[in-house]
Chain A
């Protein structure tokens, strides 16, 4: 069983939902990434999505773009991101780490070489934003051959045929993009998002995480009632942007504690309907 799958099963047994924060590796500084990852875990995160910076992040809004630019300006590359994961693993061998990024840095390294290096570093899953299922048969094979879960995106606009294509390749979980738009948008319709989740979960056979546009504990809680996992990215990066090197870990920890409480409160039996 993969570490990601085990995490979902453990939380399901506790009747809790999985919290997945996203940060960009190397933002605001490469030296702060591993401490930030530990802060995320201390605050109650279950899986960490670590963004691999790319020069042309087409699917990201301005917040994640800026994070990517800051990281690139400090010389962060895919190989350096793998080094950060390995450093994190020196003190944490439990929390799954999912790399999220774009195809070109991986292809520049070579898919096979990347898969082996990611496994060695302690990566658990990889989400390549611009690898659609029809272009990623070989990639998914290379991931699974190295015990890595290939994570795919689905969207409100995805047809049943697309869902079936993803179901054939996906393991770990599927990331359901909750709105039309880029990361960091603010137009999440909780009802519309949650309505589709049972159907997706049944068709996919893996847990469904929801992200894009989740900006506070209340929304996180509302989404958690229906989804298996809640992904929060841009909101955390905003916190990083407005922090100093001294207080960034504490501020991110406080924010994630709030999100964690929002999710856990929403799952309390008394709260199941209204809160």
Chain B
């Protein structure tokens, strides 16, 4: 039942051929400082205690696991359970990681934090913890995303953060990440870069995963309470892949549990307008690690599309690349239209407005459940709430406020 222990990455941050450290020399010492500080913090009970205290009292953890009974009955197959990360403070799983990194930044004596953001969820979570810990906060955001996500930009400003528009490249998440890296390399002595997903150079993919693994650890106990056993499959959406890595990681050694990541197929894989790096990309090097990337034949990174800004990224965390190649996890795709349908269904059937990102995982569960008997159990990571998405959904439905 339980596989030999899983202990990736190796000392230099490799998950098989993926991960690693692919950055200019100027950043190497900063990454080494971070690696050493993180390793030391993990051995310090006070660090762990503070992280757990804030997760409980500030974020509101543990987040519940909820049996979506009406929806499961309607689908007529496997039972669907939802891990309710949408109920966290700031409305998504992102805050778990931000708290971990902010406490680490303070231990390292860094007074300034920077972040990249696409939809604005990671930016809001970073601005939130920066306010909570009294740190200066600068968030890089593509000017195109700023236009699309005005409410989150205002949220970040309310929380005291400076939002810097990024005008280079495609003016979206990947360019915001480039710009945050440039800031970091310039201000490296006083600045901590809070990366929002399980990508970037080592130790970020490992560190972010470990901070997010609280999601999976809680779920193991909660599923035991609900069902007296492990779920048959765990389903999560994958952009960079932090919510998926968080819920997958504790389940990796439990071989009976299928791990299913769901990528954004946008208008459909065949149209080329999507963000499914694992399904339609090939390995390459971007943002400090080797991983599956959406790129043209000359190795230039191509622009992606998804209705959900949080999945609109041309790469993916390197551990997902490894889980795909090794066969431990499967990666499916869901189109914009399928995700929208699942969004509306969950609103109507369960009284929960899910994030469009999470709606991709829900849509896949809705496809899978009817093919399975009623005693099978699916656990879906409901990684965020959909309040931020109501304008996008309204626009798609032709509704004006």
Contacts and interface: CB of A to CB of B under 8 A. Distances in A.
| Residues of B in contact with A, size category | 35 or more
B25 A152 contact: yes
Interface in B123-179: 168-169, 174-175, 178
Nearest to A65: B168
B26 A181 contact: yes
A108 B189 CA distance: 34
Q: Range of interface residues on chain A?
A: 35 or more
Interface in B26-66: 26, 28-30, 32
A103 B298 CA distance: 12
Interface in B266-313: 283-288, 293, 295, 297-302
A106 B299 contact: yes
Contacts of A157: 26, 28-30, 188
A69 B169 contact: yes
B203 to A, nearest CB: 14
A54 B24 contact: no
Contacts of A180: 26, 185-189
Interface stretch (B15-23, B247-255, B319-327, B347-355): B15-23
B70 interface: no
Contact of B300 (A54, A58, A159, A162): A54
A59 interface: yes
B23 A107 contact: no
Nearest to A106: B299
A132 interface: yes
B186 A182 contact: yes
A130 B288 contact: yes
Q: Which of A109, A132, A154, A185 has the largest number of chain B CB atoms within 10 A?
A: A132
B78 interface: no
A103 B293 CA distance: 13
- Chain B's interface: helix, strand, loop or mixed, by majority? mixed
A72 B169 CA distance: 11
Nearest to A53: B300
B396 interface: no
A55 B182 contact: no
Nearest to B189: A180
Nearest to B188: A180
A198 interface: no
Given A130-B288, A158-B29, A181 B293 contact: no
Interface in A72-98: 72, 77-79
Contacts of A56: 169, 174-175, 178, 286-287, 301
A130 B29 contact: no
Contacts of B28: 132, 155, 157-158, 162
Nearest to B299: A108
- Of listed B28, B175, B295, residue having the most chain A CB within 10 A: B28
Contact of A177 (B22, B26, B189): B26
A14 interface: no
B293 A132 contact: no
Contact of B29 (A54, A69, A159): A159
Interface in A148-177: 152-155, 157-159, 162, 177
Which of A56, A72, A79: most chain B CB closer than 10 A?
Answer: A56
B367 interface: no
A242 B191 CA distance: 35
B298 A105 contact: yes
A267 B21 CA distance: 39
A131 interface: yes
Contact of A108 (B21, B24, B182, B295): B295
Interface of A: 54-59, 61-62, 65, 69, 72, 77-79, 102-109, 129-132, 134-135, 152-155, 157-159, 162, 177, 180-182, 185
8 contacts: A69-B169, A77-B298, A104-B299, A107-B285, A109-B298, A131-B22, A158-B25, A181-B185
Given A155-B26, A162-B29, 9 more contacts: A65-B169, A102-B285, A104-B293, A104-B299, A109-B299, A132-B21, A132-B23, A134-B12, A157-B188
Q: Which 8 A-B pairs have the closest CB atoms?
A: A108-B299, A105-B299, A77-B298, A59-B24, A103-B285, A153-B25, A157-B29, A181-B186
